[in-house]
Protein backbone atom coordinates (compact mmCIF):
# COMPACT_ATOMS: atom_id res chain seq x y z
CA UNK A 1 0.00 0.00 0.00
CA UNK A 2 1.10 3.54 -0.67
CA UNK A 3 1.00 6.33 1.88
CA UNK A 4 -2.43 7.55 3.01
CA UNK A 5 -3.60 3.93 2.73
CA UNK A 6 -4.17 4.31 -1.00
CA UNK A 7 -4.06 1.16 -3.14
CA UNK A 8 -1.23 0.71 -5.65
CA UNK A 9 -1.81 2.29 -9.05
CA UNK A 10 -2.79 -0.35 -11.66
CA UNK A 11 -0.19 -0.96 -14.38
CA UNK A 12 -1.28 -2.34 -17.73
CA UNK A 13 0.89 -5.02 -19.28
CA UNK A 14 2.71 -3.99 -22.47
CA UNK A 15 2.36 -6.27 -25.48
CA UNK A 16 4.02 -4.68 -28.51
CA UNK A 17 2.04 -4.97 -31.73
CA UNK A 18 3.44 -3.80 -35.08
CA UNK A 19 0.94 -1.90 -37.23
CA UNK A 20 1.76 -0.91 -40.82
CA UNK A 21 -0.20 1.70 -42.80
CA UNK A 22 0.55 4.38 -45.41
CA UNK A 23 4.12 3.20 -45.77
CA UNK A 24 4.83 3.64 -42.07
CA UNK A 25 5.11 1.14 -39.22
CA UNK A 26 4.32 1.96 -35.61
CA UNK A 27 4.37 -0.03 -32.38
CA UNK A 28 1.26 -0.03 -30.20
CA UNK A 29 1.96 -1.57 -26.81
CA UNK A 30 -1.70 -1.55 -25.81
CA UNK A 31 -3.36 -2.68 -29.03
CA UNK A 32 -4.77 -5.71 -27.22
CA UNK A 33 -7.16 -3.38 -25.39
CA UNK A 34 -9.41 -3.51 -28.47
CA UNK A 35 -10.50 -6.96 -27.29
CA UNK A 36 -13.53 -5.68 -25.42
CA UNK A 37 -14.49 -9.04 -23.87
CA UNK A 38 -10.96 -10.19 -22.93
CA UNK A 39 -10.73 -11.13 -19.24
CA UNK A 40 -7.37 -9.37 -18.74
CA UNK A 41 -8.66 -6.14 -20.30
CA UNK A 42 -11.82 -6.18 -18.22
CA UNK A 43 -9.93 -6.92 -15.01
CA UNK A 44 -7.58 -4.00 -15.67
CA UNK A 45 -10.46 -1.59 -16.36
CA UNK A 46 -12.17 -2.66 -13.15
CA UNK A 47 -8.93 -2.10 -11.27
CA UNK A 48 -8.66 1.41 -12.78
CA UNK A 49 -12.22 2.20 -11.69
CA UNK A 50 -11.57 0.90 -8.17
CA UNK A 51 -8.37 2.93 -7.95
CA UNK A 52 -10.18 6.08 -9.10
CA UNK A 53 -12.94 5.52 -6.53
CA UNK A 54 -10.37 5.19 -3.75
CA UNK A 55 -8.36 8.24 -4.81
CA UNK A 56 -11.50 10.40 -4.96
CA UNK A 57 -13.28 8.94 -1.93
CA UNK A 58 -12.51 12.00 0.19
CA UNK A 59 -14.38 14.18 -2.35
CA UNK A 60 -17.66 12.20 -2.33
CA UNK A 61 -19.57 14.79 -0.28
CA UNK A 62 -18.22 17.58 -2.49
CA UNK A 63 -19.23 15.66 -5.63
CA UNK A 64 -22.78 15.31 -4.32
CA UNK A 65 -22.88 19.01 -3.48
CA UNK A 66 -21.71 19.98 -6.97
CA UNK A 67 -24.24 17.64 -8.59
CA UNK A 68 -27.16 19.02 -6.59
CA UNK A 69 -26.06 22.60 -7.31
CA UNK A 70 -25.87 21.95 -11.07
CA UNK A 71 -29.19 20.11 -11.04
CA UNK A 72 -30.83 23.02 -9.21
CA UNK A 73 -30.00 25.27 -12.17
CA UNK A 74 -31.80 23.00 -14.65
CA UNK A 75 -35.56 23.01 -15.21
CA UNK A 76 -36.34 19.36 -14.52
CA UNK A 77 -39.92 19.40 -15.85
CA UNK A 78 -38.93 20.96 -19.18
CA UNK A 79 -40.54 20.31 -22.57
CA UNK A 80 -39.86 21.09 -26.20
CA UNK A 81 -41.82 23.21 -28.65
CA UNK A 82 -44.25 20.93 -30.54
CA UNK A 83 -43.93 20.28 -34.26
CA UNK A 84 -46.47 18.94 -36.76
CA UNK A 85 -46.03 15.96 -39.10
CA UNK A 86 -48.79 14.42 -41.25
CA UNK A 87 -51.68 15.47 -39.04
CA UNK A 88 -50.01 14.86 -35.67
CA UNK A 89 -48.27 17.13 -33.20
CA UNK A 90 -45.15 15.83 -31.47
CA UNK A 91 -43.19 17.10 -28.49
CA UNK A 92 -40.74 15.89 -25.84
CA UNK A 93 -40.92 16.45 -22.09
CA UNK A 94 -38.93 15.62 -18.97
CA UNK A 95 -40.58 14.71 -15.67
CA UNK A 96 -39.11 15.68 -12.31
CA UNK A 97 -36.86 12.85 -11.16
CA UNK A 98 -36.76 11.26 -14.61
CA UNK A 99 -33.41 10.65 -16.24
CA UNK A 100 -34.73 10.27 -19.79
CA UNK A 101 -37.28 12.10 -21.98
CA UNK A 102 -40.89 11.16 -22.60
CA UNK A 103 -42.03 11.46 -26.23
CA UNK A 104 -45.62 12.63 -26.76
CA UNK A 105 -48.00 13.05 -29.67
CA UNK A 106 -51.61 13.94 -30.42
CA UNK A 107 -53.78 14.44 -33.47
CA UNK A 108 -53.95 18.03 -34.64
CA UNK A 109 -56.99 19.59 -32.97
CA UNK A 110 -57.06 17.20 -30.01
CA UNK A 111 -56.67 18.70 -26.55
CA UNK A 112 -54.42 16.19 -24.80
CA UNK A 113 -51.15 14.51 -25.71
CA UNK A 114 -50.64 10.78 -25.31
CA UNK A 115 -47.38 9.06 -24.39
CA UNK A 116 -45.72 7.63 -27.47
CA UNK A 117 -42.48 6.43 -25.85
CA UNK A 118 -41.32 6.76 -22.23
CA UNK A 119 -37.59 6.22 -22.39
CA UNK A 120 -37.42 5.90 -18.62
CA UNK A 121 -39.40 2.66 -18.89
CA UNK A 122 -37.37 1.40 -21.84
CA UNK A 123 -34.17 2.00 -19.86
CA UNK A 124 -35.27 -0.06 -16.85
CA UNK A 125 -32.82 -2.88 -16.20
CA UNK A 126 -30.06 -1.31 -18.31
CA UNK A 127 -26.98 0.50 -17.01
CA UNK A 128 -26.99 2.53 -20.25
CA UNK A 129 -29.74 3.41 -22.69
CA UNK A 130 -29.81 5.63 -25.75
CA UNK A 131 -32.37 6.16 -28.49
CA UNK A 132 -30.60 6.64 -31.81
CA UNK A 133 -33.51 7.13 -34.17
CA UNK A 134 -37.30 7.52 -34.21
CA UNK A 135 -39.04 7.27 -37.58
CA UNK A 136 -42.81 7.18 -38.14
CA UNK A 137 -44.37 5.18 -40.98
CA UNK A 138 -46.40 6.96 -43.65
CA UNK A 139 -49.75 5.91 -42.13
CA UNK A 140 -48.59 7.13 -38.67
CA UNK A 141 -49.05 3.76 -36.98
CA UNK A 142 -45.55 2.26 -36.73
CA UNK A 143 -42.51 3.77 -35.04
CA UNK A 144 -39.03 2.46 -35.93
CA UNK A 145 -37.00 2.96 -32.77
CA UNK A 146 -33.21 2.50 -32.54
CA UNK A 147 -31.86 1.44 -29.12
CA UNK A 148 -28.29 1.17 -27.83
CA UNK A 149 -27.95 -0.51 -24.43
CA UNK A 150 -24.15 -0.91 -24.52
CA UNK A 151 -22.83 2.58 -25.40
CA UNK A 152 -21.15 1.76 -28.71
CA UNK A 153 -23.54 3.61 -31.05
CA UNK A 154 -24.58 0.25 -32.50
CA UNK A 155 -28.37 0.18 -32.38
CA UNK A 156 -31.07 -2.44 -32.56
CA UNK A 157 -34.14 -1.17 -34.41
CA UNK A 158 -37.48 -2.29 -32.99
CA UNK A 159 -40.93 -1.51 -34.36
CA UNK A 160 -43.54 -0.09 -31.99
CA UNK A 161 -47.23 -0.32 -32.94
CA UNK A 162 -48.53 3.02 -31.72
CA UNK A 163 -52.14 1.81 -31.78
CA UNK A 164 -51.59 -1.18 -29.50
CA UNK A 165 -48.54 0.08 -27.61
CA UNK A 166 -46.78 -3.23 -28.27
CA UNK A 167 -43.51 -3.95 -30.09
CA UNK A 168 -43.62 -6.18 -33.16
CA UNK A 169 -41.34 -9.21 -33.33
CA UNK A 170 -38.95 -7.52 -35.78
CA UNK A 171 -35.45 -6.71 -34.45
CA UNK A 172 -32.76 -5.30 -36.73
CA UNK A 173 -29.35 -5.56 -35.08
CA UNK A 174 -26.06 -3.82 -35.82
CA UNK A 175 -27.56 -0.65 -37.27
CA UNK A 176 -26.96 3.10 -37.05
CA UNK A 177 -30.40 3.48 -35.43
CA UNK A 178 -32.11 5.52 -38.13
CA UNK A 179 -34.50 4.16 -40.73
CA UNK A 180 -36.61 5.33 -43.68
CA UNK A 181 -40.07 3.90 -44.37
CA UNK A 182 -41.43 3.07 -47.80
CA UNK A 183 -44.96 4.26 -48.54
CA UNK A 184 -46.39 0.73 -48.21
CA UNK A 185 -45.90 0.95 -44.41
CA UNK A 186 -44.43 -2.56 -44.47
CA UNK A 187 -40.95 -1.88 -45.79
CA UNK A 188 -38.15 0.12 -44.24
CA UNK A 189 -34.54 0.86 -45.14
CA UNK A 190 -31.70 1.00 -42.62
CA UNK A 191 -27.91 1.19 -42.49
CA UNK A 192 -25.55 -1.36 -40.98
CA UNK A 193 -22.56 -0.26 -38.88
CA UNK A 194 -19.22 -2.09 -38.88
CA UNK A 195 -18.72 -3.63 -35.41
CA UNK A 196 -14.99 -2.83 -35.34
CA UNK A 197 -14.62 0.54 -37.08
CA UNK A 198 -18.22 1.72 -36.42
CA UNK A 199 -18.39 2.92 -40.04
CA UNK A 200 -21.87 2.86 -41.64
CA UNK A 201 -21.18 0.81 -44.74
CA UNK A 202 -24.34 -0.75 -46.26
CA UNK A 203 -28.05 0.00 -46.72
CA UNK A 204 -30.55 -2.85 -46.36
CA UNK A 205 -34.27 -3.29 -47.03
CA UNK A 206 -36.48 -5.02 -44.46
CA UNK A 207 -40.09 -6.23 -44.74
CA UNK A 208 -42.10 -6.42 -41.52
CA UNK A 209 -42.65 -9.93 -40.24
CA UNK A 210 -39.56 -11.40 -41.90
CA UNK A 211 -36.23 -12.27 -40.23
CA UNK A 212 -33.29 -9.90 -40.65
CA UNK A 213 -31.35 -12.71 -42.37
CA UNK A 214 -33.70 -12.32 -45.36
CA UNK A 215 -33.16 -8.56 -45.71
CA UNK A 216 -31.89 -7.39 -49.11
CA UNK A 217 -28.73 -5.32 -49.51
CA UNK A 218 -29.56 -2.19 -51.50
CA UNK A 219 -26.20 -0.44 -51.50
CA UNK A 220 -22.69 -1.06 -50.11
CA UNK A 221 -19.95 1.57 -49.79
CA UNK A 222 -16.69 -0.29 -50.43
CA UNK A 223 -14.43 2.76 -50.01
CA UNK A 224 -13.51 2.89 -46.31
CA UNK A 225 -12.96 6.66 -46.57
CA UNK A 226 -16.70 7.17 -46.88
CA UNK A 227 -19.85 6.43 -44.89
CA UNK A 228 -23.31 5.81 -46.27
CA UNK A 229 -26.80 6.34 -44.89
CA UNK A 230 -30.49 6.51 -45.67
CA UNK A 231 -33.14 9.06 -44.78
CA dihedral 143, 149, 154, 160 (to 10 degrees): -10
How are the residues of the chain apportioned to helix, strand and coil, as percentages rounded to the nearest 5?
20, 40, 40
Q: Which residues of the chain have pLDDT under 70?
A: 1-4
pLDDT at 36: 84
Residues 6+ apart with CB under 8 A from 157: 133, 144, 145, 146, 147, 170, 171, 172, 175, 177, 179, 190
Q: How far is CA 57 from the centre of its chain?
A: 30
pLDDT digits (tens, 9 = 90+) for 78-125: 999 999 999 999 999 999 888 999 999 999 999 999 999 999 999 999
Query: Looking at the DSSP assignment, which residues form a beta bridge with residue 207?
Result: 187
Q: Determine the Cα–Cα distance for residues 145 and 143; give it in Å rounded to an integer.
A: 6
- The answer to whether the beta carbons of residues 162 and 141 sit under 8 Å apart is yes
CA quadruple 91, 96, 100, 102: dihedral positive or negative?
negative
- Environment class of residue 149 by beta-carbon count within 10 Å: exposed (0-12), middle (13-18) or buried (19+)? middle
Q: What angle do CA 189, 190, 195 make, to 5 degrees?
A: 155
pTM: 0.81
Amino acid sequence: MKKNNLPPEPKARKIDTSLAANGETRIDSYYYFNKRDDAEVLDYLRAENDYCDQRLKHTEDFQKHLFEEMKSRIKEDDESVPYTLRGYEYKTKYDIGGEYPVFLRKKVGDEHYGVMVDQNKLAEGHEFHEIGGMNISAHNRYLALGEDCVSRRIYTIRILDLETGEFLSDELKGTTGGAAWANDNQTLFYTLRDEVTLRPYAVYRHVLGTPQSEDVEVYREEDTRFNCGVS
